[in-house]
Amino acid sequence: MSKTERAVWESMIRNYLRRRENLQCTFILVDSRLEPQKNDLDMIQWLGEEEIPFAIVFTKTDKLGQPQVQANVAKLKRELKATWETLPDVFETSAEKSKGRDELLDFIEKVNKAWTFYS
Ligand SMILES: Nc1nc2c(ncn2[C@@H]2O[C@H](COP(=O)(O)OP(=O)(O)OP(=O)(O)O)[C@@H](O)[C@H]2O)c(=O)[nH]1
Ligand SMILES: [Mg+2]
């Protein structure tokens, strides 16, 4: 995507997240193979500041060894702890192995049951 197109998408997404009144939770999908990326950290920081509820979902955890997944998860948590007192829920998943699927579905069910409308 061109820089201009990216900016349009970004603005659309941020407006949606800010204005969607019945949004209960947002999921930030983070590639578990990568160390914390600036764009992910910026987005997470912004969601926190806007008080938009979110959880972090690490994806593709089957693609690397468990110690490396743990290392990248720990690094992201450490980065977040620098700013935030409480950390969001974090899920480690693999679409390939269905890892984390049940946990994530349970979480979504829990969120849906606690549905509230903020006007
Ligand atoms: N091994 C593995 N491959 C996956 C997993 N999730 C997605 N893929 C593969 O990654 C490729 C991209 O799939 P997408 O659904 O676009 O996933 P994405 O997280 O958006 O990944 P990117 O587009 O690569 O950034 C496809 O070939 C998928 O089959 C996973 O959990 N494990
Ligand atoms: Mg993709």
Domain boundaries, the chain: 22-113
Q: Count CA within 13 A, CB hemisphere, residue 113.
A: 6
- Which ligand approaches the C-alpha of residue 59 most closely? 1
Q: Is the CB of 96 under 6 A from ligand 1?
A: yes
pLDDT band at 17 (very low <50, low <70, confident <90, very high): very high
CATH classification of 22-113, choosing from 1.20.1440.20, 3.40.50.300, 3.30.70.920, 3.10.620.30? Answer: 3.40.50.300
What average pLDDT is seen over the chain? 94
Q: Is the CB of 32 under 6 A from ligand 1?
A: no
- Nearest atom (ligand 1) to Cα of 29: 19
Q: Determine the pLDDT at residue 21.
A: 87
Q: How far apart are the first and last CA of the chain?
A: 36
pTM reported for the whole predicted model: 0.93
- pLDDT per residue over 47-94, tens digit each? 999 999 999 999 999 999 999 999 999 999 999 999 999 999 999 999
Residue whose C-alpha is closest to residue 91's, from 114, 73, 109, 68: 73
pLDDT band at 118 (very low <50, low <70, confident <90, very high): low
Residue whose C-alpha is closest to residue 110's, from 53, 66, 48, 61: 53
